[in-house]
Structure 1
Amino acid sequence: MTYRDVATRQVLIWCCTAVGARMPVAMAPLALVFLVRERPGGYSLGAILAAAYVVGEIVGAPVLGMRLRPERARVHLALGLAAGSAGFAGLGAFPAAHPAVLGGFAAVAGAAPAAATGGLRTLLTALVPERAAAQALSVESMLTAGVWAVSPAAVAGLALGVAPRVPLLLAAALMAWSVAGLWLLPAAWGADGTGDPRGEDRAGASPLRVLAGAWPVYVTGAASLTLLGLAELVLPALLEQRGVGVGWSGPLLTGMAVGGGLGAFAYGLRAWPGRLRTRSVVLMAGTSVCVTLAALTPDAVGIAAALAVGGVLQSAAMLTRNLSLREALPPHALAAGYSVMYAAAGAGYAATGSLAGALLEVVAPSTAILAGVGVTLLLTAVGWWGEVRTAGRSPQGGVGNAATTALAAPGAEGAEGAAIRGRRDPEGRL
């Protein structure tokens, strides 16, 4: 298993398109705060606009993702991204508008392109051989880590150095760029008329029922993002508690994002032993330990090291969730499944932020972080139990997928497919 299969012109074009689609998402919350912070009650209004944006994402991702059809993927994604670009342009063009108008623009900017994450991820894995799916998803994770590392500095620099509206106008331009990039990529995926062995046993199942069968993956996917949200939202208060300058929160979070990129790269270098759900639990437990150490460590160096290692493990954990979803769902439902998990992760992020905000009113920041870690471990345990329970009803052990092993055609496995504990490594066929 190497990255050679993903080093293609089409994947490079996909990366440029994905940056245009995802950097506005990373920029949006902070950019909305900077847009209105000089108005009366600006910070509260900024928080409300950011909440409207996130709610738009959470609602739009599953609703639009379930309507995404492989044969019309390009048109669907282009319309959503174009509407999102218009939402960002409205925010940048009318910064003094009534808060209700700004909230509407923010909701549209969040909801309209929300299916793009799942659609682009599915398209990426269609651009590479099946055996390179893990490497393709690792490349996506590295790209995402880079985007999230760059975006805060870009927003702050443009908002303070040029004008508060500029980051949102840039977000509109980037999203419009991604629409143009779609026309350099295939118009659809899986539309060649070939059979889908994973879909045969669910031919009569409704799309909603198929997606609901993968609920344990969504739960653990949400758990993996709760820790990230916890670190981002409580870190400034934690640094203040430890007597460290709050200005260090930016570099520390950048280090966490860089760690995430390194973790994604390392995960794609080889086939790892054990079942995906077992790897996920181990990685989530390791991430929880790192965040706990960050909460208890008295100095900035220890916090930085704990967050960097936590970023490595969290990124790898999220990759196991994406790979588990590929096993749990038939290919025609993957884009919708990724969108549902995107919404679940966003909901987990928002819920953790709300919990942390409420706890900070009554307890120390370190205690708030420890409470969030407890919630994360609870979600991880529920997701793991759900996967084990569902696998127990399937002769192949897949999450809600009784045809998982049908994909591995005779002679298709390579050296990575060595038996592990009496069964094949789930990624052996990748």
Structure 2
Amino acid sequence: MSYRELVTRPVLAWCAVTAAGRMPVAMAPLALVFLVRERPGGYSLGAALAAAYVIGEIVAAPVLGMRMNAERARPQLVTGLAVGAVGFAGLGLAPGAHPLVLAALAIVAGAGPAAVAGGLRALLTSMVPERAVTQAMSMETMLTFGVWAAAPALAAGLALGAAPAVPLLLMAVLMALSAAGMRLLPAGWAAGPPEEGVSARRALLRAWPVYVLGAAGLSLLALAELILPALLEQRGIAVGWAGVLLAGFSIGSAVGAFVYGLRGHWPGPLLVQSVVLVLAVTGGVALVALLPWTAAIGAVLVVAGLLQAPAALSRNLALRRLLPASALAAGYSVMYAAVGAGYAASGALAGGLLKVVAPSTAILWGVALTVLLTAVGALGERRLIRRTEESEESEVLQEADAPVVAERKVRR
């Protein structure tokens, strides 16, 4: 399956709707900081608002994902996007409101569309042939990294060049356009029958190792983004290079997603692929903490980005194989919350460590946390795969023995 075969009107419409819906999500943290930075204690308040926004996402994603009706998902997706648009519009129209009011609006803006990413991913994979799922997910990853690469510059440029509230108002408009564009997409997808004897909630809980390994992968992104400016200062390098170096990471990730999707299948089980890729990215981030040259740091970040995207893709493909079709949208939403929690945990650890240790040491502590999460997730997933295989073998043996048992009953 080639990427050219994905260029159809429904898939292009999906790309437009998804880009319009994800740009506000990517702009939100920085836009919230710029919204209140001129107030007393503005940077601290902006960080608190960004944290409130992320908390809204993390808490709401699994809850709303579990309640999504696969075959009639469109109204729920539209409602989530509309709620997000209202939250962003409220922030943009009342930037001088009380901090508690702003925090409540930030939570609403984060919580409303929290399950939309999972629902849109399930919708995309239902729109393409089974053999094209890897390419479709790779295309989604390229789109996501492209959005995340453009969002900070757009948020900062509008806030500084126009007014601090302008990015929030644009985000509200984009999210409303995404909600309106949902009518161009199918109403839902075929959920299929639930797994016999296993509830959707139990199936989601059983897949916890996949979420842990996914969180480990994104915790590395937090290390790269949040500590890099301080690390550059420690090395005597101009802080302005941080944006260029992180752009290289994003570009590398987009290229990595494209290359991963060129083949439908890569050697080795998905678990092995994930562990190898995450550990390779971990090694790259560790090198960033040790290397003193700007060019070397940039080269390592590009290579780390090349491997980061396939690591995330292998996690989503593993989740798709482990969960029944009826629980996929909820599973993607839980993964969204898990990787957000991994990012937040790594960022909190980094922020705390920067008060007592050098930036390079803080990165190495974060790398140790990532290795620990990777080990826990890999061991748990290995046990889960083994149980699944044993269960399938038992079912096959029962089916093979059924005619013999029936014949014995007839003889009796």
TM-score by length of 1: 0.90
Give the equivalent residue in structure 2 for 1:340. Answer: 334
Give the one of 187, 206, 211 matched to 2:204: 211
Distance between the aligned counterparts of 2:13 and 2:390, measured in 1? 37
1:242-281 CA deviation, whole Å, 9 max, x = no partner? 1111111111111111111000000000121000000001
Give the equivalent residue in structure 2 for 1:16. Answer: 16
Distance between the aligned counterparts of 2:330 and 2:8, measured in 1? 26
| Segment of structure 1 superposing worse, 3-12 or 282-291 | 3-12
| CA-CA distance at 1:397 after TM superposition | 9.2
Give the equivalent residue in structure 1 for 2:400. Answer: none
| Segment of structure 1 superposing worse, 304-313 or 36-45 | 304-313
The structure whose residues are more often helix, as a share, is: 2
1:323-372 CA deviation, whole Å, 9 max, x = no partner? 00000101110000000010000000000000000000011001100111
Kindly indicate whether the alpha-carbon contact (under 8 Å) linking 1:5 and 1:128 is maintained by their aligned counterparts in 2: no
Larger Rg: 2
In the alignment, is residue 132 of structure 1 matched against residue 132 of structure 2? yes
| CA-CA distance at 1:8 after TM superposition | 1.0
Distance between the aligned counterparts of 1:78 and 1:38, measured in 2? 34
State the one-letter code of the partner of 2:42: G
Kindly indicate whether the alpha-carbon contact (under 8 Å) linking 1:391 and 1:397 is maintained by their aligned counterparts in 2: no
| CA-CA distance at 1:395 after TM superposition | 2.1
Kindly indicate whether the alpha-carbon contact (under 8 Å) linking 2:209 and 2:376 is maintained by their aligned counterparts in 1: yes
Question: What are the residue-to-residue correspondences of 1:97-108 with 2, within 5 Å?
Answer: 97-108=97-108
CA gap 1:285/1:101 in 2 versus in 1, 3 angstroms: same
Give the equivalent residue in structure 2 for 1:292. Answer: 286
SS of equivalent to 2:73:
helix
Gaps of 5+ in 2: 397-412
SS of equivalent to 2:389:
coil
Give the equivalent residue in structure 2 for 1:260. Answer: 253
Question: What are the residue-to-residue correspondences of 1:31-430 with 2, within 5 Å?
Answer: 31-190=31-190, 196=193, 199=194, 202-270=195-263, 271-395=265-389
| CA-CA distance at 1:288 after TM superposition | 0.6
Kindly indicate whether the alpha-carbon contact (under 8 Å) linking 2:228 and 2:242 is maintained by their aligned counterparts in 1: yes
Kindly indicate whether the alpha-carbon contact (under 8 Å) linking 1:5 and 1:129 is maintained by their aligned counterparts in 2: no
Distance between the aligned counterparts of 1:396 and 1:310, measured in 2? 36
Give the equivalent residue in structure 2 for 1:407. Answer: none
1:105-137 CA deviation, whole Å, 9 max, x = no partner? 100000010000100000010110011000000
Size of the aligned set, in residue pairs, is: 393
Distance between the aligned counterparts of 1:21 and 1:112, measured in 2? 12
Distance between the aligned counterparts of 1:175 and 1:237, measured in 2? 34
| Segment of structure 1 superposing worse, 279-288 or 1-10 | 1-10
Give the equivalent residue in structure 1 for 2:406. Answer: none
Distance between the aligned counterparts of 1:277 and 1:147, measured in 2? 28
CA gap 1:182/1:396 in 2 versus in 1, 3 angstroms: farther
1:138-167 CA deviation, whole Å, 9 max, x = no partner? 000000010010001001110000000011
Distance between the aligned counterparts of 2:276 and 2:206, measured in 1? 23
| CA-CA distance at 1:394 after TM superposition | 2.2
Distance between the aligned counterparts of 1:346 and 1:262, measured in 2? 23
Distance between the aligned counterparts of 1:99 and 1:126, measured in 2? 42
SS of equivalent to 1:12:
helix
State the one-letter code of the partner of 1:370: L
Distance between the aligned counterparts of 1:31 and 1:174, measured in 2? 14
Distance between the aligned counterparts of 1:251 and 1:76, measured in 2? 38
State the one-letter code of the partner of 2:205: A
State the one-letter code of the partner of 1:114: A
| CA-CA distance at 1:229 after TM superposition | 0.8
Distance between the aligned counterparts of 1:168 and 1:319, measured in 2? 30
Kindly indicate whether the alpha-carbon contact (under 8 Å) linking 2:200 and 2:326 is maintained by their aligned counterparts in 1: no
| CA-CA distance at 1:3 after TM superposition | 1.5
Gaps of 5+ in 1: 404-430
Give the equivalent residue in structure 1 for 2:409. Answer: none
User: Which stretches of structure 1, 4 residues or more, deviate above 4 A after TM superposition?
Assistant: none
Distance between the aligned counterparts of 1:397 and 1:249, measured in 2? 50
TM-score by length of 2: 0.93
Identity rate, percent: 64
| CA-CA distance at 1:374 after TM superposition | 0.8
| CA-CA distance at 1:203 after TM superposition | 2.9
| CA-CA distance at 1:393 after TM superposition | 1.6
State the one-letter code of the partner of 1:141: T
1:208-258 CA deviation, whole Å, 9 max, x = no partner? 111011111000010110000111000100010011111111111111111
Distance between the aligned counterparts of 1:355 and 1:373, measured in 2? 11
State the one-letter code of the partner of 1:56: G
| CA-CA distance at 1:396 after TM superposition | 7.0
